[in-house]
Structure 1
Amino acid sequence: MRPVDENYEVIVVGGGFAGVAAARELGRKGVRVLLIDKNPYHQFQPLLYQVATVQLGVSEVARSLRDIFRGQPNVRVLLAEVTGVDPAAKRVTTSDGRTYEGRFLVLASGAEANFFNTPGAEEGTYPLYSVEDAVGLGGSFSNILEEADRVDDSSELHFVVIGGGPTGVETAGAMAETVKYVLPDYFSQRLASRCRVHLVDMVPNVLPPFSDKSKEYARRRLSGMGVQLHLGVPVKEITPDTVVLNDGTAIPADLVVWAGGLKAGPVVARSGLPQGRGGRIDVNEDLTAPGVEGVYVLGDAANMTDDKGNKLPQLGSCALQAGGWAAKNILADIEGRPREPFHYSDKGYMAMVGRGAAVAEVGPGPDRKVLAGPLAFLAWLGVHVFLLSGSLQKVRALATWPSDYISHRRSFVVLSRPDKPRA
């Protein structure tokens, strides 16, 4: 066996909400931490869809990990790809062959698109989970519009979003608003009138976790913005220019976004830990991995339950809380105190359905207060400002977001332009 290159008290794999929260809390207590991520930034995932629809730039959704931990010298940020995990030894191996070992190991490595073996989906659609995904999608979206404006014929452009959960609803709504309000200012009304946005899902309603009131509001709002809904029929196949449904419907497609589900990323698969639904690890109530000491699994890498045994959602707020809780349990382990079951403070669900409008179900469990429209939109803004990782980002958001989201006269953001489309 190759000797270990470096040792730490805690190794954290993943710089998302959960990983950053765990590392920050441990760093404040003087614990020596190694945080490993293949990207040098922490991404604000709830707003990736706005990068993908050329409404926001990358700097507004990504923050340097080194900047986050600049005041915590005992937390080392390592830019590397983890290619091997040994949970029993609390050891990880990176793509350059180096190995790192800790007294504790935290797997918060996030997720990737789950295409559910749909023919053509992996090759012909754009997932939306990372900054790279969003930039690639946004670049292709703008390329298609530029080419259509150059040709200036009468053919229609079809943008298809697969998945009626919050990401799919927000993406379809943002695309529809870009088409309706932004394109006439930057291109022409004629080009805007040629664009069609479709939302597809196998279930009969959008936003499955939400109440009937929220579902109906979202459905009406999307339809009012011109989004064509294809609900209750699964996707059978993706071809280079068509989305084919199980009932034989063929939807023309110039660009397809996959928001149809996520699964745990490859780090979890390489760990050898038993995987449950979505390839995630079914963790214990204290967020530890079953059957192995000193290993915590968090965020989109885990199927988590609260202290009452209730399944918890794959939300940024949940991952953020889990990261801080895991850090407290690790400190308890270090000090010889008992760990505590994770207690999730349920803030509810929310999704933006076009600028100035949202649905929000605030509060715990069956007693949630259901909001829709401008009031829900303000709640959405408040929660997302809270989730931002830095004070500068919060101040910038408070200064710009209200006018940006209320006004329809936002800039058409410049993104990179890929050489060729994904399909």
Structure 2
Amino acid sequence: MTSRPPGPEDGGQQVVHREVIVVGGGFAGLALAERLGREDVEVLLIDRNNYHQFKPLNYQVATSQLGISEVGYPLRGIFRRHSSVKVAVDEVVAVDPGERSVTLSDGTVCTARILVLGVGVDANFFGVPGAEEHSYPMYTLEDAERLSRRLIGELDRVDSPLGVTDAVDVVIVGGGPTGVELAGAIAENLRVVIGPRYDGGITGKVTVHLVDHGDALLKPFSGASHSYARRELEQLGVQLHFGTSVTHVSADGVELGDGGRIDAGTVVWAGGQRSPRLIADSALPLGHGGRINVNDDLTVAGHDGVYALGDIALIPDTHGGNGGKPASLPQLGSVAQQSGQHAARNILADLAGRDRTGFRYRDKGIMAMIGRGAAVAEIGRSRRQIQGHVAFLAWLGVHVMLLPSAWQRVAAVTSWVTDYGTSLRPRRINLG
């Protein structure tokens, strides 16, 4: 990396230059930087956190199934064998695609021959009054830990020998994979893990509600998966509220679009995603949902040398999966990871003066966990459906292999064997 002192041409700001700058240490940025690191390409990876977080498992941190160290892993540890990859822990406050540069929180300007944006997305509260102030989003490891402290505190209150007369209700907004997996895990905690161990009838004192404006859970899945997920959640005691939306969130409950109300001290928001302000305020070409329009080679439309990857990018589905109409790929970890790997190959081609190639996503399917022995998976582009114990084991296998370190894989498997094989899951210590 080269740097120079501030001068009049850059307004007195420190300027550093690197061959490739990657903003975001998620699935896409990680895959790209690792591939370039193996080729000794000079890379600066910038992230506000010093760790990579495995977002699909955040809900298990929130429900005390896994610890933080099993879901988050230090970025510098991941790249310890790649000396050409350097990690900067800082906040990017501005992006200039024309100059292929980013500005950090202290005013430092980082420029690159090739700029890669993989910043991910934020929670979308859709302007619902009180939602941002009073609900618990589920998009970061910090979110998961904050919710964990809340849930443990509520369970401690219910289990108090002094007695609790009022009910404890948890409302989850959104019936997608995050909402379904979280609802199942919380309900299972109450019914299977904690309930049988206490004489006070803790299960009857806590109710889990899931609210969705549609008429089915897991919308991207098939009808068979919709029915299976609904049946399994209802058997766990989850109260499902379909065909209505949350119109207001307060400290003591939610108002519904059908005029109803649910009294609840804990509201979890799993209802949508939006582009972060960093992207919304930039000069990047934005499409549906505020995501960045990219070409099939993953470069940003109109900005050669700038790539956008993962959830923030509108990546064309070259298979024409929307009835032959132009479509974009879904916001999945597998899409992010594969796009990072392909962008790395195109960047190597850029540096060598070769032509880029178009990205073709290898669709391996989608899956969701509902509880012990209960999951759904739809395999491949044809979406061959499996459910129950087979899907449950497949879910565990896929997720453990995607963890970035061998230590995390061993720790996760150990936790899951104890968690799903027994009723011995310990409640975590609450420090907040």
Asked if TM exceeds 0.5, the reply is yes
Match of 1:222 among 206, 223, 233: 233
Distance 2:412 2:132 in 1: 34
- Residue 295 of structure 2 is matched in structure 1 by 284
Match of 2:195 among 145, 170, 184: 184
Q: Quote the offset at 1:53 in angstroms.
A: 1.6
- Residue 88 of structure 1 is matched in structure 2 by 98
Q: Deviations over 1:26-70 (max 9, x none)?
A: 111111000000001000111100111222211111000010001
- Residue 348 of structure 1 is matched in structure 2 by 365
Distance 1:144 1:114 in 2: 26
Question: Match for 2:56: what amino acid?
Answer: P
- Residue 402 of structure 2 is matched in structure 1 by 387
Q: Deviations over 1:189-210 (max 9, x none)?
A: 4233200000000001000000
- Does structure 1 residue 334 correspond to structure 2 residue 365? no
- Residue 39 of structure 2 is matched in structure 1 by 29
Question: Match for 1:116: what amino acid?
Answer: F
Secondary structure of 1:251's counterpart equals strand
Which structure exhibits the higher relative contact order, with contacts defined as CA atoms closer than 8 Å and separated by 6 or more residues? 1
Distance 2:284 2:140 in 1: 25
Question: Match for 2:249: what amino acid?
Answer: I
Distance verdict in 2 for CA 1:140–1:203, change over 3 Å? same
Mapped contact 2:173–2:267 kept (Cα < 8 A) = yes
Mapped contact 1:306–1:341 kept (Cα < 8 A) = no
Distance 1:96 1:220 in 2: 52
Distance 2:148 2:202 in 1: 18
TM-score (normalised: structure 1): 0.95
Question: Match for 2:212: what amino acid?
Answer: D
Mapped contact 1:233–1:245 kept (Cα < 8 A) = yes
Distance 2:81 2:118 in 1: 22
Structure 2 gaps, min length 5: 1-9, 321-326
- Residue 254 of structure 2 is matched in structure 1 by 243
Distance verdict in 2 for CA 1:137–1:188, change over 3 Å? farther
Distance 1:381 1:7 in 2: 42
Distance 2:225 2:260 in 1: 28
Q: Deviations over 1:153-188 (max 9, x none)?
A: 222110000000000000000110111123336765
Q: Quote the offset at 1:415 in angstroms.
A: 4.7
Distance 1:268 1:295 in 2: 13
Distance 1:188 1:126 in 2: 30
Match of 1:154 among 134, 146, 165: 165
- Residue 363 of structure 1 is matched in structure 2 by 380
- Bigger Cα displacement from structure 2, 191-200 vs 204-213: 191-200
- Residue 421 of structure 1 is matched in structure 2 by none
Distance 2:289 2:200 in 1: 43
Secondary structure of 1:233's counterpart equals coil
- Does structure 1 residue 7 correspond to structure 2 residue 17? yes
Mapped contact 1:169–1:206 kept (Cα < 8 A) = yes
Distance 1:197 1:294 in 2: 48
Match of 1:373 among 383, 388, 400: 388
Distance 2:198 2:42 in 1: 54
Secondary structure of 1:345's counterpart equals coil
Q: Quote the offset at 1:396 in angstroms.
A: 3.1
Distance 1:399 1:198 in 2: 30
Distance 1:413 1:312 in 2: 38
- Does structure 1 residue 414 correspond to structure 2 residue 429? yes
- Does structure 1 residue 165 correspond to structure 2 residue 165? no
Structure 1 gaps, min length 5: 418-423
- Residue 17 of structure 1 is matched in structure 2 by 27
Distance 2:413 2:194 in 1: 26
Q: Quote the offset at 1:4 in angstroms.
A: 5.0
| Cα-Cα RMSD | 1.5
Secondary structure of 1:15's counterpart equals coil
Q: Deviations over 1:273-328 (max 9, x none)?
A: 12222221121111111111101111111121233344211111111111111111
* Percent identity for Structure 1 against Structure 2: 51
- Residue 114 of structure 1 is matched in structure 2 by 124
- Residue 5 of structure 2 is matched in structure 1 by none
Question: Match for 2:208: what amino acid?
Answer: V
Match of 2:285 among 260, 271, 274: 274
Distance 1:397 1:197 in 2: 26
Q: Quote the offset at 1:392 in angstroms.
A: 2.1
Mapped contact 1:111–1:265 kept (Cα < 8 A) = yes
Mapped contact 2:254–2:264 kept (Cα < 8 A) = yes
Secondary structure of 2:201's counterpart equals helix
- Bigger Cα displacement from structure 2, 129-138 vs 276-285: 276-285
Distance verdict in 2 for CA 1:185–1:415, change over 3 Å? farther
Mapped contact 2:297–2:359 kept (Cα < 8 A) = yes
Distance 1:323 1:404 in 2: 33
- Does structure 1 residue 61 correspond to structure 2 residue 76? no
Distance 1:382 1:286 in 2: 31
Distance verdict in 2 for CA 1:54–1:397, change over 3 Å? closer
- Residue 336 of structure 2 is matched in structure 1 by 319
Question: Match for 1:62: what amino acid?
Answer: G
